[in-house]
Amino acid sequence: MAPMKDAQDTLEPLSGAALIADHVRRLPARPGVYRMLDAKGAVLYVGKAKNLKARVASYARGRGHSNRIARMIHATTAMEFILTETETEALLLEANLIKRLKPRYNILLRDDKSFAHIVLRRDHPAPQVLKHRGARTIKGDYFGPFASAGAVNRTLDTLQKAFRLRTCSDPVYEGRTRPCMLHQIKRCAAPCTGEILPEDYHDLVEQARAFLNGKSNELGETLNAQMHEAAAVQDYERAAEIRDRIRALAAVSARQGVNPLVTREADVAALHMDGGASCVRVFFYRAGQNWGERAFFPRHAKDAEPGAVLAAFLAQFYENKRPPGTVIVSHGLPEQDLLTEALSLRAGRHVHIIRPQRGEKLELLRQAQNNARDALARRLTERASRSAQLEGVARVFGLKAPPRRIEVYDNSHISGSNSVGGMIVAGPEGFEKNQYRTFNIRSSDLTPGDDYAMMREVLTRRFARLKKEQNSGRALVPDLVLVDGGAGQLKEALKVMAELGFAQGEITIAGIAKGAERDAGREQFFLPGKPPFRLPPRDPVLYYLQRLRDEAHRHAIGAPRRRRARATRANPLDDIPGIGPLRKRALLARFGSAKAVANAKLADLMAARGISRQMAHTIYAYFHEEG
């Protein structure tokens, strides 16, 4: 693909339809992607076209546009273009840019978290089975996606019970001298210490692979025959072991509910729309098993067509995922052949997009549609309640409109150490947990426990970055900032904002502090230039603000605890070059602790098992600078 960006040569900068018409004169009749930008450089819209010249020209007409599109055209002050070889390539690029840039006027897939898979490795004599997210960097067989971490953990639990495959890392495996606890409770065959022959462990691996590939019926028949054979020769211990494996496999089907009889691999995507909002419920079927479902709530205009919403969702959903062989949809899709071609290109094989009219696939679709309708109904009910709460927040803090983004800050430390600041974000959709941030306090001259200085550092780092983002048009500006504390914390926050160049009142900042006895319900609120005030004890807005404050406290206090836990688990021997699990174990076996190793003489270190003269000098030098 070839990038292409036009610049204006006129003295008076063009905008709106005039700017678009000026670009049309120089555009080729080729496939590509276009971006419309506002005066701040923020991307308003990303679109693709088979013929860029014809598609962009449609925006230059002064009539026939909805009010929403007319507003977008009027706000456009710049356009950027990327040429592609094919329309399919343009569609894939469009989906990528929409997910990355999140333009205001596009249909957006939100909460697109990565899905977990199970990996059965192929690069080790005793393959490990483990949960995996992200790029497929491990050589092995990938099974998934699973809709939740819980679904993965339950399946891994079944694999341990039924097939006793190892889950430990390679360093742990190589360092074992006796079986671990998992072997004692019959969840691992312990190939690490030779408790099972390599060929027998290989058989377990192949059985697990067959199970994950959906051959559970054939596997069940094989295991049942083996159980009867063992019982016939009075090997009752082995028969009981196989019986337990059969029960573990049966429990999976019971937990999954109704599994399809014919549909082996498919995603079912059902859309339900109501009140200008929508829910897409996706069910994952792999290897003839139900591997869970997830609800998504795309952002779009209230008058968006169902087919267009579902098509945009699918293009963005599979932008970073491998599509299955079949995608079952609830609505007809515009440009379905193009989307099919794009998903096939993404999958590396042909993908079918179908809208079934009868049979098992229709039943699966109806189940997904019912779930989508129920999920959207709950969402709308929660949103109505939250909308009333946000209107109350606007009234309490004198905002012109209900806040779209609220940021709440709190600090935490443990006896003056592991100091951190926490930021949470909330808005019309509830807590935006993917926007949460943790700030490790960096100031070396900060007095331990100085809450004012900690708050100052956190706010300076956050809003200095916001200033830079405002200049680039990518800023997420809060409508309301709440700091945990009273007049002192509020004063520090206002001072930071003034130093960074924010105008007074540009961002509303308030403090929230507990009363004298730190009782919930007696909180005091602080606003610049106003006396502290309280809200009525049973005011719903007070309850909402308490939830925000408590969530910020929970987020902030968890960080130093995690840091301390990591520090507690850390061992200085882990940082010494050349010290692996075996040498570490040998040193601890001889000296008893890392502290004793640090105090050991060079001759004593050389006497430890597996420690050469050169390694002893390395260890000694690590703990003694003069060495």
Rounded Cα–Cα distance for residues 621 and 615 (Å): 10
Note the residue count of the chain: 627
Q: Which pLDDT tens digit goes with each residue over 111-169?
A: 666 788 889 988 888 998 888 887 788 888 888 788 777 778 878 887 888 888 888 88
Domains held by the chain: number: 5
| Rounded Cα gap, residues 614 and 622, in angstroms | 12
Same domain, 250 and 270: no
The amino acid at residue 247 is: R
Q: φ, ψ for residue 212 (rounded to 5)?
A: -70, -20
Same domain, 559 and 429: yes
Please identify, among 256, 274, 295, the residue that sits at the C-terminal boundary of a domain: 256
Q: Indicate whether 230 belongs to any domain.
A: yes
My answer on whether 556 and 580 are in the same domain is no
* Predicted TM-score of the model (pTM): 0.69
End-to-end, the C-alpha distance of the chain in Å comes to 58
For residue 95, the SS3 value is: helix
In whole angstroms, what is the distance from residue 544 CA to residue 247 CA?
Answer: 47
- Asked if the structure places residue 170 within a domain, the reply is yes
Segment 18-42, tens digit of pLDDT:
999 999 999 999 999 999 999 888 8
Question: Hey, is 128 helix, strand or coil?
Answer: coil
Q: What is the CATH number of the domain that holds 299?
A: 3.30.420.340
- What is d(CA 573, CA 608) in angstroms, rounded to the nearest whole number? 14
SS3 (DSSP) at 125? coil
Which CATH number does the domain housing residue 596 bear?
A: 1.10.150.20
Q: Are 133 and 148 part of one and the same domain?
A: yes
**What pLDDT shows up at residue 297?**
92
Decide the pairing of beta strands 508-513 and 480-484: parallel
Nearest C-alpha neighbor of 6 from the set 25, 87, 18, 17 = 25
More confident residue, 624 or 406: 406
Specify whether 506 is located in the same domain as 576.
no
Domain check: are 147 and 247 in the same one? yes
Q: Does 443 lie in the same domain as 306?
A: no
**With pLDDT > 90 as the criterion, what percentage of the chain qualifies?**
37
* 296, 429: one domain: no
Q: Give the C-alpha separation, 526 to 512, whole Å.
A: 6
Residue 539 lies in a domain: yes
Q: How far apart are CA 141 and CA 489, in angstroms?
A: 54
Residue 395 lies in a domain: no
Residue in the structure block whose two tokens are 């076996």: 589
* Whether residue 242 is found in the same domain as residue 122: yes
CA pair distance 15, 72, nearest whole angstrom: 11
Identify whether residues 149 and 23 lie together within a single domain: no
Instruction: Among 223, 256, 289, identify where a domain stops.
Output: 256
**Amino acid letter, residue 504:** Q
Each residue of 343-394: pLDDT tens digit?
999 888 999 999 999 999 999 999 999 999 999 988 888 888 889 999 999 9
Q: Among 457, 448, 456, which residue's Cα sits nearest to residue 415?
A: 448
Sign of the four-CA dihedral 468, 471, 473, 479? positive
Q: List C-alpha distances in Å: 381 to 377, 384, 388.
A: 6, 5, 11
**Domain-embedded: residue 421:** yes
In a domain, 396, yes or no: no
Residue 89: CATH number of its domain: 3.40.1440.10
Q: Are 554 and 581 in the same domain? A: no
